[in-house]
Amino acid sequence: MIFAEMGFAKKEHEFLSEIGLIPENLGCYVNGTWKAHGPVVSSVNPANNQPIANVVGGSIEDYEEGMKACSEAAQIWMQVPAPKRGEIVRQIGDALRAKLQQLGRLVSLEMGKILPEGIGEVQEIIDMCDFAVGLSRQLNGSIIPSERPNHMMLETWNPLGIVGVITAFNFPCAVLGWNACIALVCGNCVVWKGAPTTPLITVAMTKIVGEVLEKNNLPGAIFTAFCGGAEIGQSIAKDKRIHLVSFTGSSKVGLMVQQTVNERYGKCLLELSGNNAIIVMDDADIKLAVRSVLFAAVGTAGQRCTTCRRLILHESIYQTVLDQLVDVYKQVKIGDPLEKGTLLGPLHTPTSRKNYEKGIEIIKSQACFCCSFKMPLIGGKILTGGSVIESEGNFVQPTIVEISPDADVVKEELFAPVLHVMKFKTLEEAIEINNSVPQGLSSSIFTNKPEIIFKWIGPHGSDCGIVNVNIPTNGAEIGGAFGGEKATGGGREAGSDSWKQYMRRSTCTINYGNELPLAQGINFG
């Protein structure tokens, strides 16, 4: 199927041609060529629910053809020296830099996050490329002293082969960068299935990577990409040729992916739901805390896995913080994410908007009449927001809810700008509330007391994978390992030593003598 070049119907979409997109696009990059034989998907602008362009998704036949070529390319790529692989990733980073503004604008247009966040997301991949280039010369093993004479023990790290990456709509390309940049320098081929509702980003990103591979006379199948739905995702999870599957999405779907991958003894890296809390102590810088909560709760329209969903305030500063926060919420500019000054764009889909409405109804329904008898508040009291905004797009009001930490709705992740506020008396109580939910991704505390800080980051503190002090729960740097505990999945991506998940470790013992001494002093014959 071949589509002719044609112009975009809307002037504001013309920039898409600068990153290789046309009104009708093929959505599978298979063995270095673009093809697709699956259903046609229309990419939609969440700010007005109007179509942007069409993408033909992949079929199972496309998938099989792509995996066959990818398996062959893996044998070539893993033999390329790691610093040479790093050079290819460096070139990918440079190619992304050249299109930073256009790609960032596409992220904003198709996903719905405001333009500074869209550009920031693409910059995050560029930063990951830079990190991976340096890493390509530091994939070091260990030399281990042997207890046996004339023996040497060492560790070697080798590529897994193929890494599957399944990403979500909220960070449609940054999460690819966390995984693919590291996987590539570690000597793995990458198979990417982008989110079904952000296919244009998948196509545009893959075009840039493919051009770099082609320029260097490398097999295009080193990076294979599919636009598609659950059928392609299930194929990746079941495929024994894929040694590691990195999945980003809900805890419910992630558990199913993990079970499928485990059944074939594959490796799984999960980045799942978050239900993140900020604790504000009585000695906190309140101005700093309020600014941080605003970004953490309202940024990306509450659709980050690291969004602050619970605000835990010390009783002595509770009303002061709440009054200031309600005031700044009422000043948030809601509108087109591409317009300067907008802080809150739309939710990603009409379904997301409906889920927000359902969530608000559940919050209201859990309010109990026992409050009039001065019993503890269990249900929610909406302090600001709580409604959808009538428009063509998927806009909702940023919402603050006063609620008990024991309410069932607080334990769940509502992927929208809804902030649950609750109070505490002691640090121990605050930490208990923080740790009381099934998820364990990100957390933060605002305080200036060293004894509180070190308890917070210690064994009796936060049980999350990200434990911050005096900063928001979101906006993580790429240099640290990103991921969480419990129902968040336990995976770690991006920086630190996350690269070890993308390689196979071997412990090697070498006997360079003429005797055969056995470990533990065993004498066998």
Q: What is the pLDDT along the chain (525 residues), one digit of tens a residue?
A: 344 345 677 888 999 999 999 999 999 999 999 999 999 999 999 999 999 999 999 999 999 999 999 999 999 999 999 999 999 999 999 999 999 999 999 999 999 999 999 999 999 999 999 999 999 999 999 999 999 999 999 999 999 999 999 999 999 999 999 999 999 999 999 999 999 999 999 999 999 999 999 999 999 999 999 999 999 999 999 999 999 999 999 999 999 999 999 999 999 999 999 999 999 999 999 999 999 999 999 999 999 999 999 999 999 999 999 999 999 999 999 999 999 999 999 999 999 999 999 999 999 987 544 343 344 555 689 999 999 999 999 999 999 999 999 999 999 999 999 999 999 999 999 999 999 999 999 999 999 999 999 999 999 999 999 999 999 999 999 999 999 999 999 999 999 999 999 999 999 999 999 999 999 999 997
Q: What pLDDT was estimated at residue 366?
A: 78
Whether 154 and 498 have beta carbons less than 8 Å apart is answered as: no
Cβ-based neighbour number of residue 338 at 10 Å: 16
- 411: which 2 tokens? 């334990």
334: which DSSP letter?
B
**Could you give the strand order of the β-sheet that contains 143-144, starting from the edge strand earlier in sequence?**
143-144, 151-159, 503-511
User: Which of 273, 209, 270 is closest to 244 using CA atoms?
Assistant: 270
**What does the alpha-carbon distance between residue 259 and residue 486 come to, in Å, rounded to a whole number?**
16
| Tokens describing residue 196 | 């079904």
Instruction: Report pTM.
Output: 0.95
Q: How many Å apart are CA 125 and CA 180, to the nearest integer?
A: 9
Q: How far apart are CA 64 and CA 226, in angstroms?
A: 11
pLDDT at 379: 64
271 an active-site residue? yes
Helices (H), 335-461: 350-365, 427-434, 450-456
* Helices (H) then strands (E): counts for the chain: 13, 24
Rounded-to-integer distance, Cα 139 and Cα 135, Å:
6
Among candidate residues 65, 110, 271, 493, the one labeled active-site is 271
Cβ-based burial of 80 (10 A; exposed 0-12, middle 13-18, buried ≥19): middle
**Terminal C-alpha separation, the chain:** 71
